[in-house]
Amino acid sequence: MSHPPINLPNIINRSDWGAREPKLIEHFNRPAPYVIIHHSYIPGACETTDDCKKAMRSMQDFHQIDRGWNDIGYSFAIGGDGNIYYGRGFNVVGAHAPKYNNKSVGICLIGDWRTELPSEKMLKAAQAIIKYGIENGHVDPNYELYGHRQVRNTECPGDRLFNEISTWSHFSPNPTEIRKNEIR
Ligand SMILES: [Zn+2]
């Protein structure tokens, strides 16, 4: 199945946010050894579920239509409403962090987190989808957590969010060097 159900109370499935079908789904072998945290920057933070669904559609439009990618780039996104929005899902090659797209879960906290911190419920939702991934064999229990900026020249996920995730367990200050023959 391309988008297997996720048994969490606050999951918003693709049909619920009005996702288009991906152009292509490519799987990689689980469990993923890395989790990479992003912010959307644009769109900004969303408060209501309706606004968060809109934000998801706008990101999918940008990634799939403007950039020509297969789908929204992220595996999951987290809304200001505390919900987890289903992106590409686990073990599907993403488009969020070159060299890591086929070995990571990419989680985007919707909003601009350079100076503001996402709400507690957003942070909890991000941690909940990681925990779910481990419990269901999608994420390596010994995974390493990075901010996008650690693997690419970008501000993402914003200073404030980056400082926050650097206190989380599994955060790694020194990303593992990906071997040349693994780059795709
Ligand atoms: Zn990013």
pLDDT tens-digit readout, 40-94: 999 999 999 999 999 999 999 999 999 999 999 999 999 999 999 999 999 999 9
What CATH number should be reported for the domain whose range is 31-173? 3.40.80.10
Tokens of 11: 């999951």
Neighbours of ion ligand 1 (CB under 5 A): 38, 148, 156
- Mean of pLDDT values over 149-164: 97
> From the CA of 75, how far away is ligand 1's center (Å)?
12
The overall average pLDDT reported for the chain is: 95
> From the CA of 9, how far away is ligand 1's center (Å)?
26
Largest CA-CA distance found in the chain, in angstroms, rounded: 44
Q: Say how many CA atoms lie within 13 Å of 32 toward its Cβ.
A: 30
What is the predicted pLDDT for the residue at 178?
60
Domain residue spans of the chain? 31-173
Q: Is the model's pLDDT at 182 over the cut of 70? A: no
Per-residue pLDDT tens over the stretch 160-175: 999 999 999 999 998 8
Report in angstroms the alpha-carbon separations of 132 from 9, 36, 157. 12, 16, 22
pLDDT category of residue 2 using cuts at 50, 70 and 90: confident
